[in-house]
Amino acid sequence: MRNHRMLWVAVLAIVVSLIPLQVVEAQTDPTQHGLPGPLIDGQYAAYGFLFESYDNHDRYGRFTAHEMAVLGQVIQAYAMLAGSPQRLSMLVDGPVSVRKDEIEVVSYTQAGKVIGLGRAAFSLALTVEHNYYTWGATSGDELAQMVFGHEIGHRWIETLRRSTGKDLADVYERNVQRGERISSRETWADANAGDCEEEAVTNLALYALGKRYRWTFLHDAPSGSFRQVQIDGWVSDLLANSK
């Protein structure tokens, strides 16, 4: 019996040696395969923002020194509003990656803590061409600051929504009338989904940047004085809930 077992072991070893071996490569994330990584500019890391610049990427591009300076002014304005760079970082749940999107026209905030600045961010002409709001901006740089501030506002509201359970967009809906007249029949219930928060973060940007006016999406025009008081009251509520 022992000789038979040894014979089977020998036969099995020969069979195994004849089976060709196949090398399996480690699998990589297909979304990253073949795409160059970003160059990280961390000069605003203490504020909660990392600027990513890409070379030869199929979607994202590189920020110029001028664009960085323009956007940096927005971050500093929001830090003053929040109380400090560290507090702003907490309120946007940083680090937030900021990218220059060379495919999308409109800017956006997306899951994964990414702000994408679209092709129209620095262009009044392209913004008007695609029928987007310019919010009273008179130059591409001014528009970009409003757009970037708008997206920071989305991060701020979302952080408060998750950390406190309070939705400041709902507070805006309750406390700021949609139309200009007190007797206006236009209500936020009649607006498109998300319009209330979109207007709220736009006006937060105007407030943070020191603009003397606020914006009414319903008429695509500056708000009247009565409505501006309501909006600035909402900003006070936001700040009170951000301590």
- pLDDT tens figures, 52-67: 999 989 999 999 999 9
CB atoms within 10 A of CB 113: 17
Mean pLDDT of the chain: 87
In a domain, 143, yes or no: yes
In a domain, 4, yes or no: no
Residue 185: pLDDT band with limits 50, 70, 90: confident
Q: Is 221 or 16 the better-scoring residue by pLDDT?
A: 221
Residue bearing tokens 């089977």: 8
Q: Is 99 or 182 the better-scoring residue by pLDDT?
A: 99
pLDDT at 24 (0 to 100) = 27
In a domain, 46, yes or no: yes
Cβ neighbours for 56, distance < 8 A, ≥ 6 positions apart: 36
pLDDT at 181 (0 to 100) = 83
Consecutive H or E run containing 18: helix 2-18
In a domain, 3, yes or no: no
In a domain, 93, yes or no: yes
In a domain, 22, yes or no: no
What integer is the mean pLDDT of 119-148?
Answer: 97
In a domain, 25, yes or no: no
Q: Omega of the bond prior to 38 within 30 degrees of 0, cis?
A: no
Region of poorest pLDDT, from 11-15, 27-31, 125-129:
27-31
Tell me the backbone φ, ψ of residue 39, rounded to 5 degrees.
-90, 125
pLDDT at 131 (0 to 100) = 94
Tally of domains within the chain: 1
Region of poorest pLDDT, from 41-45, 184-188, 197-201:
184-188
Range of the domain at 79: 36-178+186-240
pLDDT at 186 (0 to 100) = 85
